[in-house]
Amino acid sequence: QLQLVESGGGLVQPGGSLRLSCAASGSIFLIATMGWYRQAPGNQRELVASITSGGSTNYADSVKGRFTISRDNAKNTMYLQMNTLKPEDTAVYYCNAQYLVPPRNYNTWGQGTQVTVSS
């Protein structure tokens, strides 16, 4: 099975930047879709951005123009560059990977990393 390890979270001031990384390991060589989700206290977990193996991306409206998702298939690593951070971005960020091992689909989550945006 697939394992996901996240890094890069921390405390940053409003307007600052952070870069999150998610490294995938295991016997799976091709992951169909990877994405970043976040969950703030009292809120539902929401999709922040996703990227397919072909490089197609999707962003939540709240982060468009500020966040950039990327993926290095050779390294099995996904990144989230977060710029112009706002206090509303404060949340636990989770890495997610979806992949197919016929005949089943699999969905794996990372442990989450805290991002805090505060002055």
**25: which 2 tokens?**
């390991």
DSSP per-residue codes, 55-110? --EEE-GGGTTTEEEEEETTTTEEEEEE-S--GGG-EEEEEEEEEEETTEEEEEE-
Tell me the pLDDT of the chain (119 aa) as tens digits: 789 999 999 999 999 999 999 999 987 667 889 999 999 999 999 999 999 988 999 999 999 999 999 998 788 899 999 999 999 999 999 999 998 888 888 999 999 999 999 99
